[in-house]
Amino acid sequence: MRNILLHLLLTLSLFAEVNVGDKAPNFSLKTLDGKKTYTMKDFKGKVVLLNLWASWCKGCKKEMPEFISLQKETPRDFRIVAVSLDDSKEKAEGFLSTLKQEIPFLVLHDSKKELAKAYDCSAMPSSYLIDKDGTIRQMIIGSLDRDEIKTLQKEIKQLQ
């Protein structure tokens, strides 16, 4: 009986969703060009907006230019980390090329969707505001418009 309960608890913990106040799950993902690997630990001491997106997502296309502006307008100890969940990096690269702007933030690729599973991502796009200590401070499901970005920018400055 004890072994069954232990097994059940371990199984349930695999499907536990993240919540505000939880530590951000770690990851190990490569950049789109495959040249560098990043983990969540690489961003210790920075406020991070972790954005999960895909090329087929209309809301992702809507908010991506806003993220470009947000990264440019926010001090250096803030970092947007955009994670493509596309099956192929070519789809992600094609999507980004339609923006016709230099991308000032880090773009990683997660074709296995491991990060989406770790965050129990239920919709696209999904973003997570993470403080300097790696704690999730806000979860944002759906795309952000300019006014919502301005509100988010105030919250980022409070965390810095």
Q: What is the pTM of this model?
A: 0.87
Q: Please give the Cα distance from 24 to 52 (Å, whole number).
A: 14
The residue with tokens 């795309």 is 143
| Assigned domain for 116 exists | yes
In a domain, 125, yes or no: yes
CB 49 within 8 A of CB 132: no
Whether residue 11 lies inside any domain: the answer is no
- pLDDT digits over 105-139, tens only? 999 999 999 999 999 988 999 999 999 999 999 99
7 is a domain residue? no
Asked, for residue 91, whether it belongs to a domain, the answer is: yes
4 is a domain residue = no
Strands 47-53 and 78-84: parallel
Angle at 17 between CA 16 and CA 18, to 5 degrees: 125
- Find the range with the poorest average confidence among 10-14, 47-51, 77-81, 128-132: 10-14
Q: Give the SS3 label for residue 77.
A: coil
Structural domain includes residue 10: no
CATH no. for residue 87?
A: 3.40.30.10
Instruction: Give the pLDDT score at 64.
Output: 95
The confidence score (pLDDT) of residue 78 equals 96
Count Cα neighbours of 117 within 13 Å in the Cβ-side half-sphere.
9
Which residue, among 157, 158, 131, has the nearest Cα to 20 in the 3D structure? 131
Residue 6 confidence class, pLDDT cut points 50, 70, 90: very low
Which residue range forms the structural domain that includes residue 93?
18-159
Distance of alpha carbon 157 from alpha carbon 160, whole angstroms:
5
- Give dist(CA 130, CA 137) in Å, integer: 6
Asked, for residue 12, whether it belongs to a domain, the answer is no
- Please give the tally of structural domains in the chain: 1
pLDDT of 10 above 70: no
For 136-154, write each residue's pLDDT tens digit: 999 999 999 999 999 999 9
For 81, the enclosing helix (H) or strand (E) is strand 78-84
